[in-house]
Amino acid sequence: LPKYLDIMMNYFDLSDFNLSNFKIKPCVLSVACFFYSGVTFADTTRQLISHESVANCGMTHGGMHHCQLSPIVVTAAADSTQAYLVTADPKQPIQPVPATDGADYLKHIAGFNAIRNGGTNGDPVFRGMFGSRLKILTNGSEMLGACPARMDAPTSYISPQNFDEITVIKGPQSVLFGAASAATINFVRQPTRFEQDSVKAQGTVMAASNQRIDTTSDTAIGNAFGSIRLTANTSEANDYKDGNGDKVPAKWRKWNADLNATYTPSDDTWIEFSAGRGDGEARYAGRGMDGSQFLRESAGLRFEHKYLSSVLEKLEGQLNYNNADHIMDNYSLREPTAMHMGGHGHGSSPMSGMGGTIDHTMGSGMGMGNMSMNDPTMAMQLARKTISGRLAATLSW
């Protein structure tokens, strides 16, 4: 270091350095003060006015009239949104086109991405974490996919447009819905209330390139004591071509329908029964097989009662049943290709803990069926039932 300093001193001859040689110029001071002024006048304003209203206004250089107005006071509610909590309205339009499933919508929220399989049914990722680190809920209940390779992620069975609100709790900031190290995502359909006999309905139709057609319908009828609400949607699209003109497997067809019957005996109490069903198929460019069935069956019962006492502010509970029945194969949506694998095996193999069985052949020595060079088709069916319950109380004192 001393040697380096000697070299620098010799390079920059500082023997004649004198601070008095550097005189501060008045012009420099004025420019510096102008650019570094820290005063901002936000409570007054000046506005150019016409010659017809010049009362109490002074004449300025150039013949223009200036008038000083009274201060403008803006009052707004303080933003109480917590940094880790994000809410979104899935019924509002998003760009470029409506989401095909839950993962497709979550990509529009900061921090989320998706592992793509094809044109739909991606696997959501939040801050590099996915799978069991994300808790995906619909109205507070969890529905797990059946495929161990996550060809049917939980968001594959969710149509965002059929819900009223999406809440995202980033990180392990809450245990209201169980543990989730990355995030908790809840797709919520609020109970419908009416003050009198009423009917409410809305629907959308969207068409786009590659034969993309989406339809949604949301209809509710009821009165002050209860309501019945039906939500349904369909979505389909075809394969697309890349920049080289080659066809990319991406087509899908899916539909969902949900029925909610709500009993509202008072303003502080409601009880709701729900039932739903959906199905679809999707062609995957990133997999060796396609999803030829995404059958969903759901049923649930939930309630909420507020202001039970001065301490017990709210009591809520629910019981849910969800069933995912998934079929994957290599012949329904594509031309099967032969696999050059010697030998053969016979029989079927149960998938432990998944409630499914392998339905056809996969290879030699695997105990998973037989493989014929003349019949290279493969299929697998997996089903998973999820039964969950929740009871929560809110206390205040």
pLDDT for residue 319 = 97
> Mean per-residue pLDDT for 235-256?
94
For residues 297-335, one letter each, b for 16 or more C-beta atoms within 10 angstroms of the residue's C-beta and e for the rest, the string is: bbebebbbbeeeeeeeeebbebebbbbbbbbbbbbbbee
DSSP codes of every residue in 221-235 = EEETTEEEEEEEEEE
pLDDT band, very low/low/confident/very high, at 188 (cuts 50, 70, 90): very high
Beta-carbon count within 10 A of 392 CB: 13
> Mean per-residue pLDDT for 63-81?
70
Greater confidence (136 vs 44) lies with 136
Least confident of 59-73, 218-232, 275-289, 325-339: 59-73
- For residue 50, pLDDT over 70 is answered with no
Greater confidence (175 vs 340) lies with 175
pLDDT for residue 96 = 82
pLDDT band, very low/low/confident/very high, at 175 (cuts 50, 70, 90): confident
- For residue 368, pLDDT over 70 is answered with no
pLDDT for residue 56 = 53
Nearest to 252 by CA among 223, 285, 227, 222: 285
Nearest to 187 by CA among 164, 170, 203, 169: 164
Alpha-carbon dihedral of residues 193, 195, 199, 204, nearest 10 degrees?
Answer: -50
pLDDT band, very low/low/confident/very high, at 173 (cuts 50, 70, 90): confident
CA distance linking residue 337 with residue 325, whole number of Å: 25
pLDDT band, very low/low/confident/very high, at 82 (cuts 50, 70, 90): confident
- For residue 382, pLDDT over 90 is answered with yes
Q: Which CATH class is domain 85-187?
A: mainly beta
pLDDT band, very low/low/confident/very high, at 162 (cuts 50, 70, 90): very high
Beta-carbon count within 10 A of 133 CB: 16
Q: How far apart are the first and last CA of the chain?
A: 67
> Mean per-residue pLDDT for 325-350?
67
> Mean per-residue pLDDT for 45-70?
57
pLDDT band, very low/low/confident/very high, at 31 (cuts 50, 70, 90): very low
pLDDT for residue 139 = 94
Q: Where are the domains of the chain?
A: 85-187, 192-395
317 beta partners? 303, 391
pLDDT for residue 39 = 45
pLDDT for residue 68 = 75
Q: Where are the alpha helices (DSSP H) in the chain?
A: 2-11, 26-35, 102-106
The per-residue pLDDT of the chain, averaged, comes to 81
Nearest to 160 by CA among 248, 243, 256: 256
pLDDT band, very low/low/confident/very high, at 347 (cuts 50, 70, 90): very low
CA distance linking residue 385 with residue 151, whole number of Å: 17
Does the pTM exceed 0.85? no
pLDDT band, very low/low/confident/very high, at 60 (cuts 50, 70, 90): low
- For residue 27, pLDDT over 70 is answered with no
pLDDT in tens, 260-285: 999 999 999 999 999 999 999 999 99
pLDDT band, very low/low/confident/very high, at 209 (cuts 50, 70, 90): very high
